[in-house]
Amino acid sequence: SNEPFSWEKYLKETSSTAASPSCFRQSRLPPSNDFKAGMKLEAHDPRNSASVCIATVMGMMGTRLRLRLDGSDNTNDFWRLVDSSDIQPIGTCERNGDMLQPPLGFRMNASSWPMFLLRTLSGAEMAPATAFKKEPAKPSQNHFKPGMKLEAVDKKNPYLICPATIGEVKGEEIFVMFDGWRGAFDYWCKFDSRDIFPVGWCSLTRHSIQPPGNFSRFWGAVVTLPKALLLPASVPPAPSKRSMQSQSYRLPHPLPPLPVRKGVR
């Protein structure tokens, strides 16, 4: 159908509940996004987090920025929240007595970095200090429980935020399972990760949400598998609370690994 994804309906359909907003390291009232495409800022290099680089805002969605490190190619863009501690106004690094670094994989000779830096900053529009919002405090402890629903960044497709379910909780760590994708995108993270959001976050911040994947669409594409694997009995059950606790949803043992269909969304 063409209906937009509705959490209200989906929670009913799956008879599940949303994780409380207090579980998350996110502001109760999402911050405003006061950045504009083209603005420059300082960002920690995601591939080398000790170094601070110049980045340009390439785009925005909700409270997130798509960033590209100046001097890097267009294949390493990354996303950060406007209240991420990974980003800061231009000048912060110097004020702290640090030096701006070329990004990992700087596309020019290292010796041309000082001149490149000068050129990239001259005449650039710098993001104003007021656009950077204070990172929210960590929740005091891990309040997540298996079965709770949330919205989470798909780390393999980081422009996407998708409906997900807590599969397991181990100390400070939680297992994030993407609804309807048979485990292909699941990951472990800390309970205070900035990549997870309470149900309703996307709608509140006007970020798109990818609806849950669906098995029939997936199975329809795998016509070359041995017949036995296509029998209904071997199709993993829909993610219900029970099947998650028993792990049978996450580990459909007799099934082959999920062929990732590149380019198809």
Binding site for ligand MLZ (CB under 6 A): 154, 157, 160, 162, 178, 181, 185, 210, 260-261, 264-265
Decide if 148 contacts 176 (C-beta within 8 A).
no
Considering only CA atoms, which of 93, 84, 82 is closest in space to residue 50?
Answer: 93
* Residue with the two structure tokens 């996450």: 250
Q: Which is nearer to ligand MLZ, 83 or 154 (CB)?
A: 154
The residue (of 65 and 177) whose beta carbon lies closer to ligand MLZ is 177
Q: Closer to ligand MLZ at the Cβ: 75 or 109? A: 75
- Three-state secondary structure string covering 149-187: EEEEECCCCCCCEEEEEEEEEECCEEEEEECCCCCCCCE
Least separation in angstroms between CB 185 and ligand MLZ: 4
- Is beta strand 48-61 parallel, antiparallel or unpaired with respect to 149-153? unpaired
CB-nearest residue to ligand MLZ: 265
Q: Which CB, 229 or 260, lies closer to ligand MLZ?
A: 260
Nearest alpha carbon to residue 33 among 128, 148, 149, 106: 128
CB of 249 to ligand MLZ, least distance (A): 15
Q: Cβ 154 to ligand MLZ, closest distance in Å?
A: 4
Which one, 35 or 178, has the nearer CB to ligand MLZ? 178
Q: How far apart are the first and last CA of the chain?
A: 16
CB of 209 to ligand MLZ, least distance (A): 11
Write out the two tokens for 183. Answer: 């485990």
Q: Are 160 and 211 in contact (CB under 8 A)?
A: no
Residue 136 or 183: the one with the smaller Cβ distance to ligand MLZ is: 183
- For the bound state, the minimum distance from the C-beta of residue 215 to ligand MLZ, rounded and expressed in Å, comes to 13
Surface-to-core class of residue 33, CB atoms within 10 Å of its CB (0-12 exposed, 13-18 middle, 19+ buried): buried
Q: How far is the CB of 224 from ligand MLZ (least distance, A)?
A: 17
